[in-house]
Amino acid sequence: MASDPGIELKALLSQMSGFPIDNKDYVSYFINDSGERVIFVQKQGQQAGTLLHSDMDWEPKSVNGPTKTMADAATPEQQEMLAKVNPGGGLFNTPMCGDVILDRTEAKWLDACYSASEPLRHTS
């Protein structure tokens, strides 16, 4: 019987990140321009997905929706501080997932993963 490359890949990603990945999980893998490895995992029936990033020592981060910008995620006090340190406003458009700062390609990839895995959040 031939092996299943999807199962083998999930096992390899689980071993690489130290995060438990089941054969039924939605999993996506990405390598950014800096060569950092990023994994998205959506488990069936769970409302949040998980972001794993090699640059953050594979610490699991919850993904509860599409990425936001730094301006969307900041409190009014933080927005005021950002305006002072970044008069041109470029930081306001920086994509984020929770407290994780992403580059634009990571944000687009993560948004696609979150959207594609939506049906799994409603099954058990």
The model carries a pTM of: 0.85
Q: State how far the Cα of 49 lies from the Cα of 119, in Å rounded to an integer.
A: 12
Confidence of residue 93 (pLDDT cuts 50, 70, 90): confident
The predicted pLDDT at position 62 comes to 95
pLDDT averaged over every residue in the chain: 89
Look up residue 33 and give its two tokens.
Answer: 């321009």
For residue 90, pLDDT beyond 80: no
Conformation bin of residue 35: beta by default, left when phi > 0, alpha when psi is -120 to 50:
left
